């Protein structure tokens, strides 16, 4: 199988072709030839107007539904939605039923997805059944293919558990991930605590709930000298704590959810339950701090935080609706719109490529002859309005329907599989 991609601009700082608009020939899943005016030689010719190409994007954390919640998302629908979003690899959170907390769960995901156009990277649970009490068989899961360990949206409340997990993971230089939210401070909060929650008469989730847990986690990290990823940081003070910890030399990384780069708590004012997400949408000042954190490297990557939910759990009074939004197909465009020109194209693409790759310690890849072809094609400046059919997930719980975004994935190539986004 031969494909010839015509006139694509290469966005890959490690490549000798970086910044150049060239043709790329892919033969049997390998980058066979790169250059200008390549001859067709029987290849399938593909024209993607105004396209840039980078190494394949990696979504650090998304939630699926298989097993247990297939009505929300199964592996086929998730990988299709991820491909439409430009991702060639997706870190998959363990929040399924049963929970992915042993090697059979990890093996199941890898086996079920082996022919999919997108590689799944299973993230095993830190605690059995996400109950926050006992650590899981991480060594087994690691051997079966788990890339990291997290309790997903269930923040790890038990400091002793996190301490033991951080220590245990040192056996294999493993990565523990935690989405910081202190439960007794967050209480039954429904949205970010501030003037909007006060006006709406709803209990808020104080920024303090995140800040306190970040401080605790960093102390535990310092004590254990292990490796920790803080998922979906949303507060200005949280970013600052991580900045200081990195300066101090701790092995901490951080990510931000794409939605938190675009929307703020102001978007919740109309009681739109689609804007009910975790971490909550916060103030404009927090959003600005997140952008600064991306710019200076405090925040290593942008993740979709994809959380598919069926209509019945969202089309409700705000207080009764579940937390989460289906975001995997729109994550890049959301981030691109939120970031504007504050980051360069090269910087933003790095948050979807080298950023997550380094967090998961995946093999380095570049756009060079002889490399395995794992590429994402996109238009960086295209403005477009989100329609329902652009949410490729089985669940359509997106707060962005009708919103104008910019930047648009055009398709992915994963070895021999080429999938266009529309």
Partner 1 sequence: MATIQQLSTRHVLGIKYLTAADIELIFQTAEEFKEVINRPIKKVPSLRDITVANLFFENSTRTRISFELAEKRLSADVVNFSASSSSVKKGETLLDTVNNILSMKVDMVVMRHPAPGAHHFLSQHINANIVNAGDGTHEHPTQALLDAFSMREQLGDLAGKKIAIIGDILHSRVALSNIFCLLKIGAKVRVCGPPTLIPKYIKDLGVEVSYDIRDTLHWCDVANILRIQLERQELKFFPSLREYAQHFGVTKALLDELDHPIVIMHPGPINRGVEITSEVADSDHSIILQQVENGVAVRMAILYLLAATR
Is 206 among the residues that bind partner 1 (CB under 8 A)?
yes
Is 6 among the residues that bind partner 1 (CB under 8 A)?
no
Shortest spacing between CB 188 and partner 1, in angstroms: 7
CA distance 317 to 273: 7
Q: Residue ranges of the alpha helices (H) in 12-102?
A: 75-84
Q: Which of residues 262-281 bind partner 1 (CB under 8 A)?
A: 270-271, 273
CA distance 260 to 227: 25
Shortest spacing between CB 315 and partner 1, in angstroms: 8
- CA neighbor of 289 nearest in space, from 358, 346, 210: 210
Shortest spacing between CB 267 and partner 1, in angstroms: 14
Is 216 among the residues that bind partner 1 (CB under 8 A)?
no
Nearer to partner 1, 318 or 372 (CB): 318
Angle between helices 284-296 and 345-352 (to 10 degrees): 90
The piece of 68-76, 173-181, 195-203, 353-361 that touches partner 1 (CB under 8 A) is: 195-203
Q: In sequence order, what E strands does 176-262 have?
A: 176-178, 191-192, 204-205, 228-230, 252-257
Q: In sequence order, which residues have a C-beta less than 8 Å from that of residue 225 and are 6 or more positions away?
A: 170, 251
Shortest spacing between CB 217 and partner 1, in angstroms: 24
Which tokens in the block code for residue 409? 């994935």
Is 399 among the residues that bind partner 1 (CB under 8 A)?
no
* Residue of the chain from 37, 42, 49, 201 that contacts partner 1 (CB under 8 A): 201
382: helix, strand or coil: strand
Nearer to partner 1, 7 or 208 (CB): 208
Shortest spacing between CB 271 and partner 1, in angstroms: 3
Is 183 among the residues that bind partner 1 (CB under 8 A)?
no
The piece of 47-55, 124-132, 147-155, 201-209 that touches partner 1 (CB under 8 A) is: 201-209
Nearer to partner 1, 236 or 301 (CB): 236
* Residue of the chain from 30, 185, 200, 401 that contacts partner 1 (CB under 8 A): 200
The piece of 132-140, 156-164, 309-317, 359-367 that touches partner 1 (CB under 8 A) is: 309-317
Nearer to partner 1, 271 or 372 (CB): 271
Is 193 among the residues that bind partner 1 (CB under 8 A)?
yes
Angle between helices 284-296 and 236-247 (to 10 degrees): 20
Which tokens in the block code for residue 24? 């790329």
Q: For residue 34, what are the β-bridge partners?
A: 24
DSSP state of 356: H
Cis amide prior to 98 (ω within 30 degrees): yes
Is 370 among the residues that bind partner 1 (CB under 8 A)?
no
Nearer to partner 1, 13 or 187 (CB): 187
Q: How far is residue 170 CA from its own chain's centroid?
A: 24
Question: How far is CA 99 from each of CA 105, 131, 216, 231, rounded to the nearest angstrom?
Answer: 8, 10, 26, 19
Handedness of CA 46, 409, 148, 107 (dihedral sign): negative
Q: Site for partner 1 (CB under 8 A): how many residues?
A: 24
Is 311 among the residues that bind partner 1 (CB under 8 A)?
no
Nearer to partner 1, 207 or 234 (CB): 207
Shortest spacing between CB 325 and partner 1, in angstroms: 18
Instruction: Count the alpha carbons within 13 Å of 65 in the hemisphere toward its beta carbon.
Output: 20
Residue ranges in contact with partner 1 by CB under 8 A: 187-188, 193-195, 197-204, 206, 270-271, 273, 312, 315-320
């Amino acid at each position: 199988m031969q494909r010839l991609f015509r006139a694509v601009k290469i966005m890959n700082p490690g490549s000798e072709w970086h910044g150049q608009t060239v043709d790329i020939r892919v033969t049997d899943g390998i980058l066979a030839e790169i250059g200008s005016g390549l001859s067709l030689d029987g290849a399938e010719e593909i024209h993607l107007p105004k396209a840039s190409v980078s190494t394949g994007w990696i979504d650090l954390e998304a939630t699926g539904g298989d097993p247990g919640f297939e009505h929300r998302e199964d592996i086929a629908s998730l990988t299709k939605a991820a491909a439409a979003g430009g991702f060639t690899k997706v870190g998959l959170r363990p929040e399924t039923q049963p929970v992915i907390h042993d090697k059979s769960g990890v093996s199941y995901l890898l086996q079920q997805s082996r022919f999919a156009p997108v590689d799944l990277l299973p993230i095993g649970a830190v605690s059995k059944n996400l109950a926050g009490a006992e650590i899981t068989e991480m060594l087994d899961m690691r051997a079966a293919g788990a890339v990291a360990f997290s309790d997903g949206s269930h923040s790890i409340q038990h400091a002793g558990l996190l301490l033991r997990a951080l220590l245990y993971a040192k056996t294999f230089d493993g990565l523990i991930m935690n989405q910081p939210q202190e439960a007794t401070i967050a209480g039954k909060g429904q949205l970010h605590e501030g003037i909007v929650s006060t006006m709406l008469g709803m209990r808020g989730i104080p920024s303090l709930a995140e800040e306190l847990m970040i401080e605790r986690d960093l102390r535990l990290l310092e004590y254990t000298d292990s490796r920790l990823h803080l998922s979906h940081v949303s507060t200005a003070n949280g970013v600052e704590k991580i900045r200081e910890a990195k300066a101090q030399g701790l092995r901490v990384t951080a990510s931000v959810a794409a939605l938190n780069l675009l929307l703020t708590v102001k978007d919740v004012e109309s009681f739109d339950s689609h804007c009910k997400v975790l971490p909550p949408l916060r103030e404009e000042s927090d959003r600005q701090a997140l952008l600064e954190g991306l710019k200076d490297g405090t925040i290593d990557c942008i993740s979709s935080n994809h959380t598919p939910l069926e209509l019945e759990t969202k089309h409700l009074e705000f207080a009764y609706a579940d937390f989460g939004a289906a975001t995997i197909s729109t994550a890049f465009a959301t981030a691109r719109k939120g970031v504007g020109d504050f980051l360069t194209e090269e910087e933003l693409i790095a948050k979807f490529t080298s950023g997550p790759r380094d967090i998961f310690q995946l093999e380095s890849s570049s756009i060079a002859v002889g490399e395995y072809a794992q590429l994402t094609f996109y238009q960086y400046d295209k403005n477009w309005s989100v329609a329902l059919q652009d949410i490729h997930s089985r669940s359509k719980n997106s707060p962005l329907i009708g919103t104008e975004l910019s930047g648009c994935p055009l398709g992915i190539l994963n070895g021999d599989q080429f999938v266009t986004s529309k």
